[in-house]
Amino acid sequence: MLTVGSLFAGIGGLDLGLERAGMRVRWQVENDPYCIRVLEKHWPDVKRYGDIRGIKWSEVEPVDLICGGFPCQPVSVAGSRKGDKDDRWLWPEFLRAVREVRPRYALVENVPGLLSTDDGRLARGVKGDLAEQGYDSEGGCVSAKDVGAPHLRKRVFIVAYPLDTRRGSEPIIFTERFYSSFPRHDGAEDAMGDAFEGGCGGFAWWRAGAESENGRCRMETDAVANPDGQGFTRPSVSVFGRGPQQKDADTRGPSQRDVSDADRAGFPDLQGCGAFTERCWDRTSDSADWWDIEPDVGRVADGVPSRVDRLRCLGNAVVPQVAEYIGKAIVEADNESRG
């Protein structure tokens, strides 16, 4: 069983997914008081550390895999994108942990903005830093929709392993078999396209083992809420998981009102189904047992304790089902390497 050390653990989205894949979390690093309370509840017997900048890694238990999503604010398109000039750019601390602990695997998570900030210099720097420590790396762009969720939440994942692990230039983690295992409704080819062309164009240089001039990610075209108030720009199978006939629908029909409508009328009436009704979801999704659509709740939540903390933590968290898929691919590759 692979053992895991979790950096920037948050509320444990990566940790939960990797444990579902058959790994065991041995320690966690987190500095936020509310997140720590959540981790203490669900991992009461796991050792925890605070500020990553003060950890002496020589005193930390060795593990097989180090995972973590270092803060995304320096590269997010929602921020000023100062990159490594931002005080929150903590990739060097992630790298320090890898350098001193020397795990067999490292799993790095961040937003797609990592690939486009400073024309991809930082993303290439991550690959180069890992290579200097004796690790090869490959990456993929995986969305929550790929594992059956009714939303996008696209994230970049990088897996690093010793240089002599991979034979040739083909990936061992983000393979065609990996993408074809997703419970999507538009097929493995579209999943591969999201990862290496449309969703995160230019990311193939990790897959091919060679650097590219184009380490950048295109802006999301499936946006659910747009700042110009135009609602859905493209009612797409990637958003709703309906049917392939919706793929090329580029016009905003009369039934497609703004997403912010309190009566949920903003969801387009696709295939005669209004909004995300249980009837519509059950009819079109093979993974409805994973994702229960929330009821028609009011716009204001009264009496919910720590609501702001909860929303912030959920916003920062990794979808556990995505981490589980990647974890299973790592376990499979590890078993194959052991013969």
Catalytic residues: 72
Helix or strand (DSSP H, E) at 259: none
What's the alpha-carbon Rg for the chain, to the nearest Å? 20
Q: Tokens representing 168?
A: 């040739």
Q: Tokens representing 251?
A: 């016009």
Residue 151 Cα to chain centre, angstroms: 12
Instruction: Count the Cβ atoms, other than its own, within 10 Å of residue 176.
Output: 13
Residue 133 Cα to chain centre, angstroms: 24
Rounded-to-5 percentages of helix, strand, coil across the chain: 35, 10, 50
Using alpha carbons, select from 12, 20, 18, 19 the residue that is nearest to residue 38: 12
Distances (CA, A) of 134 to 67, 165, 206, 283: 17, 11, 15, 49
Determine the Cα–Cα distance for residues 147 and 143; give it in Å rounded to an integer. 7
The answer to whether the CB of 71 falls within 8 A of the CB of 8 is yes
Amino acid identity, position 103: P
φ, ψ of residue 139 in degrees (nearest 5): -145, 165
DSSP class of 18: H
Residue identified by tokens 């593990």 is 63
121-132 vs 91-101: helix crossing angle, rounded to 10: 10
